Amino acid sequence: MGLPTFLLCLSVVGIRQCLGGYSDYDYGGIPVMINRLLGEPSVLSLRGRLDASWYRAVNTETCPLECDCPVHWPSAAYCDHRGLKAVPPALPPRTQYLFLQGNLISSLPAGVFANATLARWLLLDRNQLASDQVNSTALAQLPHLENLFLNYNHLTDVPSPLPGGLLQLRLAHNRISKITPGAFRNLRNLTLLLLQGNQLQTIGEAAFKAGLQSVILLDLSHNQLKEFPEGLPPSIQQLYISNNSLSVLQERSLIGFGNLQYLRISHNRLQDKGIASNVFNMSSIIELDLSYNQLTSVPVVSETLQYLYLQANLIQEVNMTSFCRTVGPVDYSHLRVLRLDGNPLSYHQLPSDWVLCLRVLSNIFI
């Protein structure tokens, strides 16, 4: 089964590299679609793709009445999008992929997955799960669980404890307003953590401290954060905090993140005075998105940066020292794309020698 490889590629190399150009995958029988808006894959149902009654007729294996169990993929149970108010009883013990998204499930009592202990994928997106209706033992008792999808529910807390072997945890678009210290404590293998579209105002230093030593992608976009979170895992390669209320980035905010490659802080309240002078001068960063802020000048960035998005700020002039400290045969900016559109700036205001510094630039928007 090739699926784990696919996902590995997703989380290790980064969504852009792996999926650029494609929007629809049929991988090992699982239709996976990349939702470009959310930048994440969603596993679709088989609705309209399979004749459920035919599969039920030819499949001799047990299958709950509420679900479809494709004969050629015995480890999957499709119970999605059918108005279920509860997890179906008597799930087949062979189930490794459990599709329950798009139902009306509001609770997970203890033992609800007692017959599906082999489950590795559990998709519960778009249900009505509330935190006080989720008994933590229900999830903790799935020792093989690697991929847990809980997007678009009514959760107010991170469920805890969770199975220690999780690789991805998707909690986007819930109502989570706080992260209890140690909530992720045992998730040492987690590489992808989605928390965008919640109601987080602050993230305490202890929230991410324990566990989470393998996280590659962390999405905190669309929350209400006023301060840059502390104690983030140093393993992070992709950090998304767009659409929050950040106004300050301190010198220490990004110290220690030697793996950080993609940093997106668009749609915040950043002003020049709130940004420490050297905070973005990190040689690991490939893409920096500072669009839709209130910057009046271009911050100092590393010469190795390749993509810089500064559109819709208040930038009136550009000083090449932001990109190049010195210019010479081997000293130049590696920027390929520079967006400065939507600023009170025009092309002729660029210093005449800008091409010497930005010599590999392929796209500039002013």
Calpha distance 265→90 (Å, rounded):
46
Contact 312, 343 (CB under 8 A): yes
**Closest to 202 in 3D by CA, of 176, 222, 175, 229:** 229
Tell me the window of 43-51, 95-103, 109-117, 226-234 that interacts with ligand NAG (CB under 6 A).
Answer: 109-117
Write down the least CB distance from residue 91 to ligand NAG, Å: 6
* Residue 50 or 334 having the CB closest to ligand NAG: 334
The verdict on 11 binding ligand NAG (CB under 6 A) reads no
Residues that contact ligand NAG, how many (by CB under 6 A): 24
The verdict on 238 binding ligand NAG (CB under 6 A) reads no
Hey, which residues between 32 and 91 contact ligand NAG (CB under 6 A)? 89-91
The verdict on 135 binding ligand NAG (CB under 6 A) reads yes
Tokens at residue 186, please? 């045992």
* Residue 30 or 279 having the CB closest to ligand NAG: 279
The verdict on 255 binding ligand NAG (CB under 6 A) reads no
Enumerate the β-bridge partners of residue 289.
264, 309
Binding mask 296-335 for ligand NAG (x = CB under 6 A): ----x------------------x-x---x----------
* Residue 59 or 189 having the CB closest to ligand NAG: 189
Tell me the window of 110-118, 123-131, 172-180, 326-334 that interacts with ligand NAG (CB under 6 A).
Answer: 110-118
Strand, helix or coil for residue 52: helix
Give the chain's length: 366
Hey, which residues between 113 and 132 contact ligand NAG (CB under 6 A)? 114-115
Cis peptide before 89 (omega within 30 of 0): no
Binding ligand NAG (rule: CB under 6 A), the pick from 189, 247, 250, 296 is: 189
The verdict on 267 binding ligand NAG (CB under 6 A) reads yes
Please enumerate, as own/partner, the contacts of 270-275 that have beta carbons within 8 Å and a separation of 24 or more: 270/246, 270/294, 270/295, 271/247, 271/295, 271/296, 272/296, 272/297, 272/299, 274/247, 274/248, 274/249, 275/248, 275/249, 275/299
Calpha distance 253→168 (Å, rounded):
25
Calpha distance 243→220 (Å, rounded):
9
**Closest to 252 in 3D by CA, of 233, 268, 230:** 230
* Residue 101 or 302 having the CB closest to ligand NAG: 302
In order of 97, 100, 111, 114, 356, the CA distances from 91 in angstroms are 11, 12, 12, 9, 65
Binding mask 140-179 for ligand NAG (x = CB under 6 A): ------------------------xx--------------
Write down the least CB distance from residue 132 to ligand NAG, Å: 8
Binding ligand NAG (rule: CB under 6 A), the pick from 111, 256, 258, 344 is: 111
* Residue 180 or 319 having the CB closest to ligand NAG: 319
Tokens at residue 236, please? 């992070």
Contacting residues toward ligand NAG, per CB under 6 A = 89-91, 110-112, 114-115, 135, 137, 164-165, 189, 221-222, 242-243, 267, 278, 281, 300, 319, 321, 325
